Structure 1
Amino acid sequence: MLKKSNRFLKLLKPFKNIYFLILIVFIVWMVVFDANSWLIHNDLNEDIEDLNSKIEFYNGEIEKDQKEINTLNSTDGIEKYAREHYKMKKENEVVYIIEDTDSLKVKTNE
């Protein structure tokens, strides 16, 4: 029985030192409770990573849109865009639209 109590007293010995207790309280305060705590910094770093990935995505979209704007600056580019997206045609021109049987099945299912 004395051996167990001696072990317990040896484990409690550092906690009797006031400097050690102040150090523990300080570490807990800085990690959890402070305005600049580790937990808040961790959340902010995750937000920064999300924002950086959004920046990369939108920069890619800007480049893609810039290429499309450059192709639309010419009359040939506008005509091509109108034919592909709006199914427009020139006067006295016949346009045949051929649909795949797979696409017809998808349309009937919707």
Structure 2
Amino acid sequence: MVFIDNYSLYFEHPVLDNEIEELEENKAYYIQEIKKDSISIKQLKNPEQTEKYAREQYYMKRDNEDIYIIEFEENAEESE
């Protein structure tokens, strides 16, 4: 005699396997992101790297210089 209900592991097992697989993929992704961020943090402890990052990401400049941003047509189409 076999009793089957809504909480039977036979029916829930594939759903739970899919959830476990998805969570393991998320875990791997976040571990990789943490490694990249920790490398970035180590680099930003160097004043020269901090200045480089600020110049590239936030277009910061020194008092005696001007910055010109040149966008090519291929890059302009992608950003729109």
Q: Common fold, TM-score beyond 0.5?
A: yes
Residue 26 (structure 2) pairs with residue 46 (structure 1): no
In 2, the alpha carbon distance for the partners of 1:77 and 1:56 equals 28
What residue is the counterpart of 2:48 in the other structure? 76
In 2, the alpha carbon distance for the partners of 1:103 and 1:36 equals 54
RMSD value over aligned CA atoms? 2.0
Larger radius of gyration: 1
What residue is the counterpart of 2:60 in the other structure? 88
Greater RCO structure (CA 8 Å; 6+ sep): 2
Normalised by the length of structure 1, the TM-score is 0.62
My pick for the range that moved more, 36-45 or 66-75, is: 36-45
Normalised by the length of structure 2, the TM-score is 0.81
What's the CA shift for 1:103?
Answer: 3.2
Q: Which amino acid aligns with 1:56?
A: A
Greater fraction of residues in helix: 1
What residue is the counterpart of 2:72 in the other structure? 100
The number of residue pairs the alignment matches comes to 80
Identify unmatched segments of 5+ residues in structure 1.
1-24
**Matched-pair identity in %:** 35
What's the CA shift for 1:96?
Answer: 2.4
In 1, the alpha carbon distance for the partners of 2:12 and 2:30 equals 27
Identify unmatched segments of 5+ residues in structure 2.
none
